[in-house]
Amino acid sequence: MSSSVEAITVLSSDGDEFKITVSAAKLSKPLNWMLEDVCFSDDCDEVPTIEVNSKTLVKVIEYCEKHAPRANSGASDSDAEELKKWDIEFMKMDVKDILFHILMAANYLHMEGLYDLACQTAADLMKGMTVSQIRKIFHIKNDFSSEEQEQLRRQHPGCSFD
């Protein structure tokens, strides 16, 4: 591989091209392996495909580029605080439209930081919610029979299952 390249081009599952800096790509284990295995010098025209749709990939790359400087060099507490605020803003997104896809992409790309952040975001959405609200947030259909529901109520008398 060549170390002279600063950014690489990748394809989304929709076939769109995206640029990502090498230092940002290193946040993903599979991308990092790819960097080590594949030739990315200027005279190499191989463009790897990432099985993530364009809309999601834009967000994933945005996250990587923001977090790469800190991941590669460490950072001060004030930077960490700033990054935390940025993460909160970054995660303000529609659940079904994009959060699910971010979760899948972070899982597929082995990005621990983004995966934990997205899981925490989803968890915060369901905290304190009723059962029917949780179903609504995560687009889940109630598949319990009325007998099963009655049994669940008995098992957890303190919980509201409305």
**Binding status of residue 33 toward other proteins by CB under 8 A:** no
Select from 12-20, 24-32, 62-70, 102-110 the region that touches other proteins (CB under 8 A). 102-110
For residues 143 and 147, which CB has a smaller minimum distance to other proteins in the complex?
143
**Binding status of residue 139 toward other proteins by CB under 8 A:** yes
Select from 24-32, 55-63, 81-89, 131-139 the region that touches other proteins (CB under 8 A). 131-139
**Binding status of residue 113 toward other proteins by CB under 8 A:** no
Measured CA to CA, the distance from residue 41 to residue 5 in angstroms comes to 6
**Binding status of residue 13 toward other proteins by CB under 8 A:** no
Measured CA to CA, the distance from residue 83 to residue 50 in angstroms comes to 26
DSSP string, 135-157: HHHHT------HHHHHHHHHH-T
Distance of CA 85 to the CA centre of its chain: 17
Provide the token pair at 22. 């090498």
Min dist CB 138 to other proteins, Å, is 4
Contacts of 49 (CB under 8 A, 6+ apart): 10, 11, 12, 13
List 85, 92, 127, 154, residue binding other proteins (CB under 8 A): 127
- Total number of residues that touch other proteins (CB under 8 A): 34
Contacts of 98 (CB under 8 A, 6+ apart): 55, 56, 59
Select from 17-25, 48-56, 78-86, 151-159 the region that touches other proteins (CB under 8 A). 151-159
Contacts of 112 (CB under 8 A, 6+ apart): none
Binding site for other proteins (CB under 8 A): 100, 103-104, 107, 115, 119-120, 122-124, 126-131, 134-135, 138-144, 149, 152-153, 155-156, 158-161
